[in-house]
Structure 1
Amino acid sequence: MRARLALPVALLAAISVAATACQSSSGKDAAPADGQGERKAASSVVDYNPQPYDNIKDGGTYTTVGTFDEQGNPFNVNATLTASRVWSWYNADAITYSPTGEVQYNPDYYSDVKVSVEGGNQKVTLTINPKAAFNDGTPIDWTAIQATWKANNGSDKAFAASSTDGYDRITSVEKGADAKQAVITFKGVNAAWSSLFTTFLHPKAATVDNFNKAYVKTAHPEWGAGPYTVGSWDAHSGNITFVRNPKWWGKKGKLDKRVYVNLESTAAVNAFKNGQVDYTSASDAENLKQIKGLKGTEIRSGGSPFEYALYFNTKSSVLADINVRKAIQQAVDRTQIAKIQFQGLDYKEPLPGSAVLYSFQKGYQDNVSTVLKYAPQEAGKTLDAAGWKPGDGGVRVKNGKKLEVGYTLLGDDPLAKATAGAFAAMLKQVGVQLTIKKADDSDFSKILSERRFDLFLSGNRSMDPFGARYLCDFYCSDRDSNITGAGTAELDKEIRAATQIADLDQQVAAVNKVEQKALQQYAFLPLYSGPSTYGVKKGLANIGATIFYSPLPETVGWQK
């Protein structure tokens, strides 16, 4: 998962949900590196029919495939990308980013923002819109900012926070000139501070019990705010409908309704073809072929702030051995996995080299290639040295035990099955037996939070451009968000030191250096990003491949 949510690292619902987002940060499509059409960087093109608010019709419905998440609080460690998306339709979208990562303040929440540095420490003063209030009538004021900070800063371990980075460098959140002003003081300077308060919690939602449990399979519209609120939340079907919020003080939402229909990912394309949904991901060639050319629809395609990676559970018995993990990584042909994913899409990209930065971003380095090469013969030598000797049927054995590793496969997506089969064939060549274990899409959160896997392929989507901030979430040994369980206390210190450097260029250089060390735990293997490609009904505005941009809900609708 490479994703950073507007909040913390968000785990994306595995490979079958593939490229359901946007794009990245540069502005121009990357030029081919050679005559064979390989790219020096992943695509940074956007394609989402951008339209100003006044050019969008009043009324209409926007329907997609989707449902609520097991954990609906996006600040919680068990929340996924789904939680963040649903949350944004009935809670504050106070800070967003342009496609290339520039900060955008929403004046309906933050009417003024001032950033200063005094005595080497950064101070951020947020002046909150006087009209801003939660749906239960509670004013949105400095206490919401303070409550969000306290729940996420790591001082109280009872909060199952997804990421404490950044929050833990805030020394105080205090009332300013009046209750509608929050003064945030940092220890040192934090250039990525905006990613901490893109949204916020109602103070009632920021108790330990509510933070961890209140949003499990349910919504709390009374604690929300925004142009839309929950119309229906069907726990039986999984369907959700959002309607205009009569308590909203800003520009009204253009849509009458925003609807999520709970269907399996494989049913989404048929639903789009039948006109049941207005938008669908075309994550592979077969899906793209089915929806291309449909009357009244169009294809929107651009770059992707997603990355998919293979996760190794270092707490499982067989993968506790770092040499086994290293050998498996040496045996995985990432180029072949990417070819399977992109077959028929007319798309190429360099193999990803980092968990936290994309190849179209400034300062990016291919850290994976620095520490790892595809070398199946070397994989065999690594296993020999670790005491795993060739056995019957070509499966290696040690102390009478076969070298058998599990691979957890979600759902029934054909591309996911093909990828699993490719992994099995690659590992068979070096004497590792890969056992594919099937699970339902709905088990995703539990599989990760309870580490019910040996190997697992999952994706991440970056919701902000400050990748270096999330290094600890991937690699620190004491982080619940590090689902591999790998790392050391010594490495944790180096990671934290790198992420606290104030100068962004210096920080990225230090992060690249320490990530190379972290990758030598051989517990996390970036595989591919891919394009963001969607089938969209013509006229749908501000939806598609957007990179870091998340359109405000009130700007989504149908073009006049």
Structure 2
Amino acid sequence: MTGYADHTLHDGARRPRAHLLLLLLVAALTLAGCSGAGDVAGDEGGGEVSSSTSTAAEDAGEQTGAEADDAGSDATEAGDDTLVIASSFPISSIDPTVEGYWAQGFGFGELLLRQTPDGVPESWVAASAESVSDTEWELTIHEGVTFQNGNPVDADAVVAVLQAHVAASDTLASALPDVAVEATGDLTVSVTTSEPAANLPALLANEVVPVYDVAAREALGEDPDEQALMDAGLYTGPYRVVSLDASQMVMDRNEDYWQGTPPLEQVTLAFIADDQSRILAVRSGEVDVAMYAPTAAAAELEGAEDAIYTRAASGTLGPRATIQIEEPPTDDPLVRQAISLAIDYESIATDVLDGVADVATGMYPADSAFAVENQVHDPEEAAARLDEAGWELGDDGVRTRDGEPLAIEIVAYQADPDMLPVATAMAAHLGEVGFDASIREVDSSSALYSEDLTGWHIGLFRTGFFGYGDILGLAQDLLGTDGAFNAGHIDDPEVNEMLADLNQAFDIEERDQLLTELQERVITDQAYAFMVASRPIAMVVSPEWAGYEPSQFYINVDWQTAP
């Protein structure tokens, strides 16, 4: 029996400052014209459950949220028991059927389970998830959990929310074939599938499966206004949304929160699209935490007394390189292997990314229990692979075969400022072993999934293989033949078989062994894709919030968040 038992829940800390009225007005005007924001938040959604439901604001754009009320105008008064966070991505609705994926990240909602760095979810609203058999799981709900409207989160409520999510997501329904959910006690729920679903805990720890009061949401009918959604108290989180408009979201403390009294009286999320404006807001004392800090901010703030660059403990972001296997010359495994071997990973991490990123050694962060360190910089071996493939080095330093140059194109997108410098460095590394590498810039990562974009060989993506901790789900999306984000058009029966076996691996040691084999197949044998660097999630915080620890799963506020 595999158990995902009770663990202490904790996260970083936070706090606030003065009124942001002018800054938020500028931000609102900026947001109205911004585009491609989702690419910085997370290209592929970090292993999202539903490819039709974007995560981390994949489709964030112009705001159409609720009108501001009096609570919003007082949201950013200074005080030791408040927190102001600045994000580049606006929230237009707290409707769990529309943008529920924001809830767990900012403290107004929660998930049944909470993801951990080792990929084994721990308790949250659910005290445990136990595999009764290969096709049945039993969930036990914490006693005393209530929605913000006072209704109990019991077995019937959890059954309703799981059924609602499955009905709304074809991808979730596919991951849980012929799923049957029923209450087996006041606080116990049985989840039965027609095929093994070892990945169920990770699905329940995915941001697009928030816990909410389904009956209360249904009572509001279709397309309710934001005030009605706020008044309904649909979520379980330590903070309750009281105001939402195009410039900010304000949350007050949930005095009846089930785990205890949250330390902050109020949390404000300011929507500020521009990187430098968010950092300036921290330095001026208007904001406590600025999310999505650019790499360059680390050097800019070195020695500063008014702001601190801080990062998550582990680097789970990319760039990740996906190689197009249907396009010559990268349809040849030897050429793909040469590409992987030619990249100077240490130089990219230390020189190009200013030492902020970790050196990429494999698909997963080196501190993961299942990580395989099979990425190395070996230009001599890269040249040997190209020799074996019949590519001869010319006097001009470019290899040719049958009169054709070894030309490849790297695609980088503009939404992430690190992508072009990384692509430029990669092109130089590849040139040292005889490639003629060029770079094409596109607006967003979505271009790499478009049939209109042809002739490219290496696509760079912001996210890594770890994503938000749903390791199997993201591997299926990125590497499976039918994967939602299989930009390289990988079609490998061995990989598909490994992915299928992973979905039946209830034992952690068995899972880790399968992941080891998958990494060897994907990187060492076939070089379908690889990590170029391992960037941690980074933020800029005020000195008062120096102890704030960014979460690699974007759980930015929880019930223990405090300065």
1:118-162 CA distances to partner (integer Å, 9 max, x unpaired)? 6x6653133365662376x88655466446655777xx8x83537
Structure 1 residue 274 and structure 2 residue 284: aligned? yes
Q: Percent identity?
A: 15
Tell me what 2:87 maps to.
Answer: 65
> For the residues of structure 2 that align with 1:511 and 1:306, how far apart are their CA atoms?
16
Letter in 2 for 1:270: L
Rate the CA distance shift 1:412–1:319 in 2: closer, same or farther, 3 A: same
Rate the CA distance shift 1:365–1:11 in 2: closer, same or farther, 3 A: farther
| CA contact 2:311–2:538 (8 Å) conserved in 1 | yes
> Which residue of the other structure, out of 129, 132, 140, is the alignment partner of 2:146?
132
1:235-258 CA distances to partner (integer Å, 9 max, x unpaired)? 5xxx43131276965445514232
Structure 1 residue 431 and structure 2 residue 438: aligned? no
Letter in 2 for 1:377: A
Tell me what 1:352 maps to.
Answer: 361
> For the residues of structure 1 that align with 2:255 and 2:450, how far apart are their CA atoms?
40
> For the residues of structure 1 that align with 2:438 and 2:449, how far apart are their CA atoms?
22
> For the residues of structure 1 that align with 2:55 and 2:329, how far apart are their CA atoms?
21
| CA contact 2:115–2:468 (8 Å) conserved in 1 | yes
| CA contact 1:409–1:417 (8 Å) conserved in 2 | yes
Rate the CA distance shift 1:526–1:363 in 2: closer, same or farther, 3 A: same
Tell me what 1:377 maps to.
Answer: 383
> For the residues of structure 2 that align with 1:139 and 1:464, how far apart are their CA atoms?
28
Rate the CA distance shift 1:539–1:58 in 2: closer, same or farther, 3 A: closer
Deviation at 1:197, TM superposition (A): 2.1
Deviation at 1:321, TM superposition (A): 2.3
Tell me what 2:137 maps to.
Answer: 123
1:241 alignment partner, SS class: strand
Computed over aligned residues only, the root mean square deviation of the Cα atoms, in angstroms, reads 5.0
Deviation at 1:500, TM superposition (A): 1.6
Letter in 2 for 1:177: G
| CA contact 1:292–1:535 (8 Å) conserved in 2 | no
Moved more, 490-499 or 375-384: 375-384
1:188-244 CA distances to partner (integer Å, 9 max, x unpaired)? 887764333235355869x9xxxxx999xxx97565442334445445xxx431312
> Which residue of the other structure, out of 475, 480, 497, is the alignment partner of 1:476?
480
1:508 alignment partner, SS class: helix
Deviation at 1:2, TM superposition (A): 9.9
> Which residue of the other structure, out of 177, 184, 194, is the alignment partner of 2:185?
177
Rate the CA distance shift 1:126–1:338 in 2: closer, same or farther, 3 A: same
Rate the CA distance shift 1:66–1:273 in 2: closer, same or farther, 3 A: same
Rate the CA distance shift 1:289–1:449 in 2: closer, same or farther, 3 A: same
Letter in 2 for 1:486: I
| CA contact 1:243–1:257 (8 Å) conserved in 2 | yes
2:269 alignment partner, SS class: strand
2:527 alignment partner, SS class: coil
Moved more, 1-10 or 272-281: 1-10
| CA contact 2:85–2:289 (8 Å) conserved in 1 | yes
1:333-355 CA distances to partner (integer Å, 9 max, x unpaired)? 3232223245355x8x553222x
TM-score, structure 1 normalization: 0.67
> Which residue of the other structure, out of 223, 226, 250, is the alignment partner of 1:242?
250
Tell me what 1:510 maps to.
Answer: 514
Rate the CA distance shift 1:463–1:550 in 2: closer, same or farther, 3 A: farther
> For the residues of structure 1 that align with 2:145 and 2:421, how far apart are their CA atoms?
53
Rate the CA distance shift 1:186–1:204 in 2: closer, same or farther, 3 A: same
| CA contact 1:64–1:261 (8 Å) conserved in 2 | yes
Letter in 2 for 1:194: P
> For the residues of structure 2 that align with 1:394 and 1:69, how far apart are their CA atoms?
49
Deviation at 1:448, TM superposition (A): 5.5
Rate the CA distance shift 1:328–1:478 in 2: closer, same or farther, 3 A: same
Rate the CA distance shift 1:125–1:428 in 2: closer, same or farther, 3 A: closer
| CA contact 2:198–2:502 (8 Å) conserved in 1 | no
Aligned residue pair count: 479
| CA contact 1:471–1:499 (8 Å) conserved in 2 | no
Question: Unmatched 5+ residue regions in structure 1?
Answer: 15-56, 208-212
2:511 alignment partner, SS class: helix
Tell me what 1:555 maps to.
Answer: 560
Higher relative contact order (CA 8 A, sep 6+): 1
> Which residue of the other structure, out of 123, 146, 157, is the alignment partner of 1:105?
123
Question: Unmatched 5+ residue regions in structure 2?
Answer: 1-42, 59-78
> Which residue of the other structure, out of 416, 421, 424, is the alignment partner of 1:418?
421
2:501 alignment partner, SS class: helix
